[in-house]
Amino acid sequence: MAPVRLRHPKGVSTVEVPSDNSFTVQDLQQEIYAATDILPSRQLLKSGYPPRALTLVPELPVQSLGLLKGDQLIVNESTGFGSSAAAAPQRVQPLAQSASPNVQPRPSPAPPGSASAQTTATGLQPSPGPDHVELDGGFLVHRIVPDDNSCLFSSVALVFEQSITKAPQLRKVIAEGIRNNPDTYSEAIRRMPPSQYIDTITKPTSWGGAIELSILAAHYSAEIASVDVETGRIDRFAPGESGSLSVMRAILVYSGIHYDAATLAPMADAPAEWHQTLFPITSTEDSDPVLVAAKKLADILRAKKAFTNTATFDLKCEVCGQGLKGEKGARAHAEETGHVRFGEY
């Protein structure tokens, strides 16, 4: 491939795109971020005439976008919860890539007091303040962190360090954890050498996932429980070897492309310093009162459609026309056929 011309809100730029298959859509998004300051999770890309929206599957080679020599990319910034990008199965799905799937995002919870926050999907008037559920005389509160590709690290920093400003330090914890356990995080597991993975995860544009949550649970000697908004499923990451017991638990809320935290406060709108961020584990089952409350919180967010399903969005191979389901289906089809151009239905 040749240089690709970008037209974006700041003007016009050019990025160099290697012709080999090692350069992925994710790599292109990072180059665009460097040129435009638009986060990969918020990039909307179009090309051609008339301009057509590009389907972004981060793990596929950049050839999947069907760009030709001399093509121009039109770059805009999404104002939604994420971008039209889709995340490669990260979090309890992928692991450490600045993934951004091209699936139309679900609307994020509206800021308290905004016009869109006045009515939920059920038509009921919500109570003022952040989303919350009652728990033990207090309120389990949805604590929203910035949508800046470091949401996992910010959420973990909020519950364990009481400050999202510590998020960059947690990337160093991940790097050290992988460096100290090369057999556990081998190339066979990561699909890339540990050294390359460390280089990736230490970049502020790279998303974290299941591997990162496992390492952070071990680092803090506490369980990290992540409740999935769409399904209500709870994925729990315990410190140490599989089956190891911990006495404290942190709660994260996962939307499909974003992590937030959940903490306990005496009032829903209580100051941050009044919040309890870790909880004693009273049960190893989902019947634990804190986990039950977390599921109810996910129910509230689900009613607002505050999630993105990156596994089930429909794609079509633009080479052979075969219909595919989600990023995983696209990747498998590419490996079987060599076809790397996909579009959304």
189 CB-near residues (< 8 Å, 6+ apart)? none
Token duo for residue 149 = 């590709």
Query: Would you state the pLDDT for residue 89?
Result: 33
Q: What is the DSSP string of 267-317?
A: STT--GGG-B--EE---SSTTSHHHHHHHHHHHHHHHTT----SSS-EEEE
Tens digit of each residue's pLDDT (9 = 90 or more) over 126-158: 455 799 999 988 999 999 999 888 999 999 999
320 carries an active-site annotation: no
Kindly state the average pLDDT of the residues 210-221: 93
Confidence of residue 340 (pLDDT cuts 50, 70, 90): low
Among 47-51, 119-123, 169-173, 181-185, top mean pLDDT goes to: 169-173
Query: Would you state the pLDDT for residue 311?
Result: 65
Q: Taking all residues of the chain, what is their mean pLDDT, rounded to a whole number?
A: 78
Cβ-based burial of 120 (10 A; exposed 0-12, middle 13-18, buried ≥19): middle
Kindly state the average pLDDT of the residues 266-293: 91
Give Cα separations from 135 to 2, 67, 145 (angstroms).
Answer: 58, 53, 22
Catalytic member of 258, 260, 288, 333: 258
In angstroms, the CA 202 to CA 196 distance is 10
Confidence of residue 296 (pLDDT cuts 50, 70, 90): very high
317 carries an active-site annotation: no
Confidence of residue 93 (pLDDT cuts 50, 70, 90): very low
Query: Would you state the pLDDT for residue 221?
Result: 93
In angstroms, the CA 215 to CA 224 distance is 10
Q: Which of 265, 295, 258, 264 is nearest to 279 (CA)?
A: 264
Would you give the end-to-end CA distance of the chain in angstroms?
27
Confidence of residue 313 (pLDDT cuts 50, 70, 90): low
148 carries an active-site annotation: yes
Confidence of residue 161 (pLDDT cuts 50, 70, 90): very high
Query: Would you state the pLDDT for residue 83?
Result: 33
In angstroms, the CA 335 to CA 25 distance is 16
pLDDT at 61 over 90: no
Query: Would you state the pLDDT for residue 48?
Result: 76
What are the beta bridge partners of residue 135? 138
Catalytic member of 131, 142, 151, 228: 151
Tens digit of each residue's pLDDT (9 = 90 or more) over 96-124: 333 333 333 333 333 333 333 333 333 33
Catalytic member of 132, 142, 275, 339: 339
pLDDT at 177 over 70: yes
Residue 274 Cα to chain centre, angstroms: 28
Provide the Cα torsion 210, 216, 217, 220; round to 10°: -170
Tens digit of each residue's pLDDT (9 = 90 or more) over 1-15: 567 888 888 888 888
Q: Supply the DSSP symbol for 55.
A: P
Tens digit of each residue's pLDDT (9 = 90 or more) over 235-264: 999 987 544 566 899 999 999 878 999 999
pLDDT at 181 over 80: yes
Q: Supply the DSSP symbol for 139.
A: E
Write down the pTM of the prediction.
0.60
Catalytic member of 71, 148, 235, 286: 148
**CB 163: neighbour CB atoms within 10 A?**
11
333 carries an active-site annotation: no
